[in-house]
């Protein structure tokens, strides 16, 4: 569809310019900026099952390859097994000396993304869309998240009696970390690092992402 297709149709049909949309709430850019991977949480804030359900709710409105929608979500809160999940996940592989999360800042709510079908490229793409959509929803709700691929799949499945194959986890909570993005060139190191208590995340500049 041409960039200005809708504007032109509006003019043709109604004979006037499309009214300007008044933006309500966060822009996508603002949500993305705040949607940083968080590895330290405020334990005084207890994430409820209802909050996790609201986050997962976005997954009934997202794209899906062949519209197959084979992903399913298992919710874990403080009262329903978070302490059993914690020993099975790994955080902050680029900062092994820190042994993240710091004691007292562990996440206590998780969304476990499972698949009802065999893993495939389509399922993986669906998974990425689901995770990112949920991360943005969480930020909109004032919460923070961490996508977790480093976990003991077999033990998690057995411990929580998961009826399906777990593919990824998402930790959810009220983040306590100070995190900043650092624009870098495409040849610069990408590993995140910490300095004076701030977590820095290098991101390749937009201009260097373009191939032409």
Ligand X SMILES: Cc1cc2nc3c(=O)[nH]c(=O)nc-3n(C[C@H](O)[C@H](O)[C@H](O)COP(=O)(O)O)c2cc1C
Contact residues: ligand X, CB under 6 A: 36-37, 39, 90-92, 146-150, 192, 201
How near is the Cβ of 78 to ligand X at its closest, in Å? 20
Residue closer to ligand X, measured from CB, 141 or 150: 150
CB neighbour burial string for 146-181, b if at least 16 within 10 angstroms, e if fewer: bbbeebeeeebbeebeeebbbbbbbbbbbbbbebee
Nearer to ligand X, 49 or 205 (CB): 205
CA distance 168 to 147: 7
Q: Which is nearer to ligand X, 18 or 90 (CB)?
A: 90
Cβ 55 to ligand X shortest distance, Å: 16
Cβ 80 to ligand X, closest distance in Å?
Answer: 22
CB of 206 to ligand X, least distance (A): 14
SS3 32: helix
Helix, strand, or coil (residue 7):
helix
Nearer to ligand X, 75 or 91 (CB): 91
Query: Cα–Cα distance between 60 and 146 in angstroms, integer?
Result: 21
Backbone angles phi, psi at 84, to 5 degrees: -85, -25
């Amino acid at each position: 569809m041409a960039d200005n297709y809708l504007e032109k149709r509006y003019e043709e049909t109604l004979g006037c310019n499309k009214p300007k949309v008044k933006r309500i709430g966060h822009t996508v850019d603002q949500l993305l900026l705040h949607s940083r991977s968080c590895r330290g949480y405020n334990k005084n804030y207890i994430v409820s099952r209802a909050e996790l359900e609201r986050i997962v709710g976005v997954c009934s409105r997202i794209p899906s390859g062949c519209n197959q929608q084979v992903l399913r979500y298992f919710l874990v809160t403080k009262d329903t097994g978070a302490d059993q999940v914690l020993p099975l996940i790994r955080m902050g592989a680029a900062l092994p000396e820190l042994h993240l999360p710091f004691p007292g800042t562990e996440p206590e709510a998780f969304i476990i993304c499972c698949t009802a079908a065999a893993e495939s490229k389509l399922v993986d793409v669906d998974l990425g869309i689901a995770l990112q959509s949920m991360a943005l929803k969480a930020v909109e709700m004032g919460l923070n998240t961490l996508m977790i691929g480093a976990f003991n799949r077999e033990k998690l499945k057995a411990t929580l009696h998961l009826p399906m194959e777990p593919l990824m986890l998402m930790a959810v909570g009220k983040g306590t970390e100070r995190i900043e993005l650092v624009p870098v060139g495409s040849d610069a190191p990408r590993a995140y690092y910490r300095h004076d208590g701030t977590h820095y995340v290098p991101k390749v500049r937009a201009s260097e992402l373009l191939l032409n």
